[in-house]
Amino acid sequence: MLNTETPSSSHTDLDLYPTEELLHVLIDDQFNAIRAVRQVAARIAGAVDSAAPRILAGGRLVYVGAGTSGRLGVLDGVELLPTFSWPNERALSLLAGGKQAMFVAVEGAEDDAEKGASEIRELALTANDVVLLVAASGATPYVLGALQAARASGALTIGFANNPDAQVTGAADIGITLDTGNEVISGSTRLKAGTSQKVALNSFSTALMVRLHKVYGNLMVDVKPTNVKLLRRTVSLTMHATGRDEAECRRVLEECDFHVKTAILAILSDISVATASARLAACGDDLRRALQVQQK
């Protein structure tokens, strides 16, 4: 029996616990999710370093999963646009059962290996694409079908599973085992197995965006102001990075369609927004490098 499915020998009277004790048990077990991710930090770092040149060359991120794992992939991908201005068309998600499975469980969809393969083939992957395949068991047919098709296309495949020696991690170019063991509630991988997947995917994509120069220092300088809150954030980020007052920062931001990178470079280098935009482009969209050009 898979580790994630094996009944736990701890807390066998869980249903008899007082509510507060029950919550302490559930919460404390989540710390094991973080430990599992930390144990494979080097593997995740290797995945980031392998993915970065492909993505810089124009590749796409493609998340593949079923159930909780698939929904976590969707969540990670859709958050890249507002946080890092990453285009939606370059962060795609394949969820067993289709979009409706995001909200309602589609029974049996995860067992269709050919569906996973055909949906990958429809994307016409290239060698620059990066496919993230997530399955707690590591043996979900839909995910394995997608993996086989992705590998045939020459794309970089990164497999995440919560069981050692899983098929998805063994067959992927890079396998990452999040060994969370059994669950407090037997087989419920929406608990710490799901948490470990969320942390691993979030850490991978965030580190990748840092490598792609979407962050300056620890500031999200490519944030896309899609609402009032984020619009205010662009102003506060620019003020923080430049030390200038709100009026000046807002004025420059308005000139560059609230692109924080461009505003920071224009203010600190005392150049026009147009010149700042051109310099950023010449420096591969790397704000730190663009600022160093001015210093020289």
Residues with catalytic function = 79, 110
169 to 77, 96, 149, 175, 255: CA distances (angstroms): 21, 19, 15, 4, 48
| Neighbour-count burial of 27, counting CB atoms closer than 10 A to its CB (0-12 exposed, 13-18 middle, 19+ buried) | exposed
Going across the sheet that includes 130-135, the strands are 91-95, 61-65, 130-135, 156-161, 174-177
Q: What is the CA radius of gyration of the chain?
A: 22
Q: How many CB atoms lie within 10 A of CB 6?
A: 14
Contact (Cβ atoms closer than 8 angstroms) between residue 72 and residue 194: yes
* Distance of alpha carbon 171 from alpha carbon 29, whole angstroms: 30
Residues in the chain: 296
Contact (Cβ atoms closer than 8 angstroms) between residue 82 and residue 223: yes
Q: Which of 96, 103, 44, 37 is nearest to 70 (CA)?
A: 96
